[in-house]
Amino acid sequence: MTRAETRGLEAPDRALEEELRARLGEVEASLEKAVRSDTEFVTDAARYLVAAGGKRFRPLLVLLAGYFGDPTDPRLIQGATAIELTHVATLYHDDVIDEADQRHGVPSVNARWDNTVAILTGDFLFAKASELSADLGTEVTRLLARTIATVCDGQLREVEASGRSGQSKDSYMEIIRRKSASLIATSARLGGMLSDASPETIEQLDDYGTALGLAFQLSDDIMDVISTEEELHKEPGQDMREGVFTLPVLYALEEGKDAAELSELLGNGPVDGDRLHRALQIVRGEGSLLLARRAVTREVRRAKQLSEGLAPGRARDALVNIADFLAERCGADR
């Protein structure tokens, strides 16, 4: 699903939305250029998931954060491109780890080719992102490298916790803080840096991005449980199938009336077929979903509170609007 198809991500100010669309068009052109190689096969593999689309959520944050400095600075396009290449590179690697068949409604790279191609293409895109960041200065290069290391740390923690129904909620929150929220926080921070926003504003954008990133992942966790296959472009309950027990599942295991049954379903190897169907029924119980939605609400409200320290105006209104969207999409309070 592209950003244009995702109601709620539009900026509430029409003029700002038009400006953002134009700049995101520049990012698309920059992405197309960045994934080219002298070898046609490499270009095809690297372009594959970029061309499949996506919300371009992280580049959007880079550009929006740029409005707290000089939003016309051309470095923002290059920074947004580097951020999206980093994100897409993680998707290539995720598909290998998860043995996924689809991504963005098309066959995954490892399904289209194989795991070797997926891994090497992900590495290629990480390198391309690093090359772009090097043109933006040492500070940006250091930030991106540190973020990639944090994302990989989070992914490794998730792999280590895979299939363990006894994982604590605090441990899970730390995993998503590293694996998901860190790149979103870096997107907001980078927009401030490249637009020459004040140091105080850059820190505020980073804090906002962390809270928003946690809300983003927690909202996605709920959507994986409650949505249809048509909405997700993949089978619901994919996380459970892969042994990733997200916050709604952890609440159901800890506090649900069918916790013992769910623990047995999840503790006997890969969850599929009737077992997956029954596990989803249990997790969809109002108790666990209510608690998971409250967690989304906490992070959304924290993001909105942090945004109050930013200069008032249409960019800040857009950041608040994004936070509200993350709550509304999964049925959480704003």
User: Tokens at residue 103, please?
Assistant: 């991504």
- Give the start-end residues of each E strand in the chain: 102-103, 106-107
Q: Is the separation of the CB atoms in 244 and 271 below 8 Å?
A: no
Closest CA to 126 of 102, 108, 152: 152
Q: Domain extents for the chain?
A: 3-329
Q: Is the separation of the CB atoms in 84 and 76 below 8 Å?
A: no
DSSP bridge partners of 103: 106
Q: Which amino acid is at 307?
A: S
pLDDT in tens, the chain (334 residues): 555 555 678 899 999 999 999 999 999 999 999 999 999 999 998 898 888 878 899 999 999 999 999 999 999 999 999 999 999 999 988 888 777 676 666 777 777 888 898 899 999 999 999 999 999 999 999 999 999 999 999 999 998 998 887 889 999 999 999 999 999 999 999 999 999 999 999 999 999 999 999 999 999 999 999 987 666 666 788 889 888 999 999 999 987 789 999 999 998 777 889 999 999 999 998 789 999 999 999 999 999 999 999 999 999 999 999 999 999 999 999 9
CA-CA distance, 192 to 203, in Å (whole number)?
9
Q: Which amino acid is at 67?
A: Y
CA-CA distance, 248 to 277, in Å (whole number)?
15
Q: Which amino acid is at 293?
A: R
Q: Is the separation of the CB atoms in 180 and 285 below 8 Å?
A: no
Helices (H) and strands (E) in the chain, counts: 17, 2
* Fold exhibited by the domain 3-329: Farnesyl Diphosphate Synthase (1.10.600)
